[in-house]
Chain A
Amino acid sequence: MAQATPGRLETRDMLLNIGPAHPAMHGIIRIVAQLDGEQVVDVDVEIGYLHRGFEKMSETVDYNGVIPYTDRLNYVSPLINNMGYCMAVEKLLAISVPERCHYIRVILSEISRITDHLTCVGASAMELGAFTVFLYMIKAREYLWELVEMVTGARLTVSYCRVGGVKGDLPEGFAEQCRKALGETRKVLAESHALLTRNRIFVDRMSGTGTISQEDAISYGITGPFLRATGADYDVRKDCPYSVYDRFEFDVPVGTRGDNYDRYLVRMEEMEQSMRLIEQGLRDIPPGPFQTNPETGLPIPAAEMVDEGKIGNIQAIAGARAVTDPTLDGSAKPQHPNIAADEKRVFLPPKEDTYGNIEGLMQHFKLVMYGHGIRPRKGEVYFPVEGANGELGFYIVSDGADKPYRVRVRPPCFAIMSALPKLLIGDMAADLVPTFGSVNMIGGELDR
C-alpha cells in the first residue's frame, strides 16, 4: 500500500516494535508489526530472550537434578512439568509408581492447570481494562497456591515430583483445605463470568479476533485449549491417557470459531472440569494402608510398635511404619512408602531416613554422589502429558550413564507462538494484545 494513488494521499506502512520489555508482553518477546493504518499487514516474532540452555544443562546433571530445571520451564504450572519429566524417566526405567502417588500427581496437576488458566484469563482481562477480574483471579490463585505450598513447601519452584514418586505425602487436612479452596475458586469464577462473559467491551474485543481455523491449528502443531477452541477435541488426558486419568470422568470443552472469545470460554470451562477431577481424586484416592493402624486408622507410634513386636504380635503391624517424633526427623510431614515406587535404586529416600538410619543414608549416597545415580538402560522414550497450554512432551535419550544423554522438551506454546503471525495478520493493532494474551506465552518453556 506504499504507492501513491491518484487523487489520494500517499500512505506508508509503519513498523511498530513491541517488546522485548513491554507490559503487555508476558515475559520477554519482541513483535515487530507492520501496520497499514491500524491494520496489521505483517508480523515478525522474535523469541529467545529467555534462553537459558535447559536442554544443554540437563545433559550435565543426573536424572534427579533435572527436576528443578523443569520447574522453571512453565513457572505458572510447574507441577505439570515435574510430573511430565518424572513420568518420562519412569517410562525409560520401566518402573511404575503406587496408586496413591498417581492420584497425588493428578490432583496437583489439576490444581496447577487451574492456576495457569486463572493467570492467563486474569492477565488478558486486565489488559482489556478489566482490572477487577485480574485481582479476583489472583485472589483465587492465591488460595490454590496456598494448597501447593502446603503440599510442597514452595509456591513456584516446587520440585515436588521425584523419579519414582513424589517428595512427600499430602499433609493432614489437605482434603478439607482443598475443598474450601475450590469453593472459593468457584465463587471467583462465577464473579468473573458475571463480569466478563456478557460484558459488551470484553466480547467486542475478544470475539472474532485472533481467529484460526482447525486445519491451520493442526498444521502448526497447536494443542491444548488453543486447539480445542477451534473445535478439535484433542486432549492428551482423554486420547492417550496416562497416570490414572482414564478412571476419571470429565469433559473436554471445545469451541467452534477458534477466536479469542472461544479460547476464553474453553479455559473457563476447563477450570470447572479440573475442579471436577480434583474432587473425584480426593474421593477416590487410596488411603495409605501402611501408614495407619488398620483397626483404628491412626498412625502407630514407634513405642507402641516396639511393644507389639516384643510380645510377638507382628501380624497387625507387618509392613507398617512407625511415627517418630517430628523434632527428631526434621520434618513433621509423614513419609510413606505408598507414595514412592518400591525401588531403592531410583527413589531418593525420605529425609527422615537419610538422616535417621544407615540404610537411608546409603540409599541417598548411591543416588546423589558423583558417578552414582540412576542409570537407565540405553534407550529413548517420548512421553506426553497435557500441560496447561497443550501437549507437553519429554523426549529422553539415555546412553546408560547416570546423566541423561539428551533431554528434549516439546513446549506447548512454541507451536502457538509460531502461529502468531497467522493469528495477527489482518486484525487491528489493538487486537494484538488480547490475541497475544490468549496464547498464554510462557517464556520459560518457549525459550527454554
Chain B
Amino acid sequence: MNASALIQAVKDRFPAAVKAAHAYRGDATVVLAREFLLEAAGTLKEDPAFQMSYLMDLTAVDFSAFGKKPAHAFFASSGVQLQPSPDIPDPDPWPGPPGPERFAVVYHFFSHRLKHRLRLEVPVDEDDAEVDSLTSLWAGADWLEREVWDMFGIRFRGHPHLRRILMYQEFAGHPLRKDYPVNKRQPLIGPVN
C-alpha cells in the first residue's frame, strides 16, 4: 500500500480515532487520539490489510520549544529554505506538530509481508503524560517504552516494570525534555555502600 492509500485505510477503520494525517516526504503519518492507541495498534498488527508485524521504533518528541528558538544572530534569517526536488514525493506539506499538547509519542510500524511503513503519533499533555503500553502486542516495546519513560517522563500504563534504562536510578529529571539544560551536571551515584 502506498502512503495515501494506507492513511485512507487507517482513517476508514478508525474514523473517530484519527485526528489528522499527512504523508510528508512519502512517510505515512497518522495522529491518533490516545484512548484508541491499544485498539488501533492491535488492529494494525493483526488485520490482514495492515499486517504491521514490526514495531520498528518507539520514541517521543517534546514540542514545547518548537519554533520558539530565538534568532541567534543578526543574520539569523539569512538561511534560505530549500525547495523540494521533483524526484522525491511531496504530496502534501507538513501540517505542523500533531497537536497543542507538549509531547507526542511516535511509533514507527513496518509490515514485513506488505512492506509498508506507518508512523503513528499520539499527543499527550505534560500533566497527564501517560499512554497505554504496547508490551502485550510487541515484546520489543518493553525496552523502548522504558527508554521513553527515562528520557521524557512519559508513563506507559500496563508496562510490567517501568524503570530507567539508559540513566541510573538516582538520576533526577528526564534529559530529552527541552527544559532540561544540555550542560546540567548531576552527581553520579553516591559512595558505594
- How many angstroms between the C-alpha atoms of A414 and B165 in the bound complex? 11
Name the residue of chain B whose CB is nearest to the CB of A384: B56
- How many angstroms between the C-alpha atoms of A48 and B146 in the bound complex? 12
Of B67, B117, B143, which is within 8 A of A382 by CB?
A: B117
- Interface status of B186 (Cβ within 8 A of chain A): no
Inter-subunit contact B54/A240 (CB<8 Å)? no
Binds A, one of B36-44, B82-90, B123-131: B82-90
- Interface status of A53 (Cβ within 8 A of chain B): yes
- Interface status of B157 (Cβ within 8 A of chain A): no
- How many angstroms between the C-alpha atoms of A425 and B74 in the bound complex? 60
Name the residue of chain A whose CB is nearest to the CB of B138: A219
Inter-subunit contact B96/A378 (CB<8 Å)? yes
Inter-subunit contact A94/B143 (CB<8 Å)? no
B-side contacts of A220, CB under 8 Å:
138-140
- How many angstroms between the C-alpha atoms of A94 and B49 in the bound complex? 30
29 contacts between A and B (CB under 8 A): A48-B166, A51-B167, A56-B182, A59-B182, A91-B25, A91-B88, A93-B84, A94-B84, A95-B82, A218-B112, A221-B55, A232-B112, A343-B82, A370-B72, A371-B71, A371-B76, A373-B79, A375-B82, A377-B94, A378-B94, A379-B25, A382-B57, A382-B117, A395-B108, A399-B69, A400-B81, A414-B144, A418-B142, A419-B140
B-side contacts of A429, CB under 8 Å:
none
Binds B, one of A120-128, A138-146, A306-314, A403-411: A403-411
B-side contacts of A375, CB under 8 Å:
79-82
DSSP class of A's interface residues: helix, strand, loop or mixed? loop
Assess A410 versus B108: contact at CB under 8 Å? Given A219-B140, A221-B54.
yes
A-side contacts of B74, CB under 8 Å:
371
Q: Size of chain A's interface in residues, with CB distance under 8 A?
A: 66
Interface residues of A in 358-414 (CB under 8 A from B): 366, 369-382, 384, 391, 393, 395, 397, 399-403, 405-406, 408, 410, 414
- How many angstroms between the C-alpha atoms of A381 and B53 in the bound complex? 21
Interface residues of B in 128-154 (CB under 8 A from A): 138-140, 142-144, 151
Which of A53, A219, A240, A380 has the most CB atoms of chain B within a 10 A radius of its CB?
A: A380
Inter-subunit contact A371/B106 (CB<8 Å)? no
- How many angstroms between the C-alpha atoms of A187 and B55 in the bound complex? 40
B-side contacts of A384, CB under 8 Å:
56
Inter-subunit contact B27/A381 (CB<8 Å)? yes
- Interface status of B14 (Cβ within 8 A of chain A): no
Of A47, A56, A59, A377, which is within 8 A of B81 by CB?
A: A377
Interface residues of B in 23-82 (CB under 8 A from A): 24-25, 27, 29, 53-57, 59, 61-62, 65-67, 69, 71-76, 78-82
- Interface status of A447 (Cβ within 8 A of chain B): yes
Name the residue of chain A whose CB is nearest to the CB of B116: A240
B-side contacts of A59, CB under 8 Å:
182
- How many angstroms between the C-alpha atoms of A31 and B119 in the bound complex? 33
- Interface status of B115 (Cβ within 8 A of chain A): yes
Inter-subunit contact A240/B142 (CB<8 Å)? no
- How many angstroms between the C-alpha atoms of A82 and B79 in the bound complex? 24
Which of B83, B96, B112, B167 has the most CB atoms of chain A within a 10 A radius of its CB?
A: B112
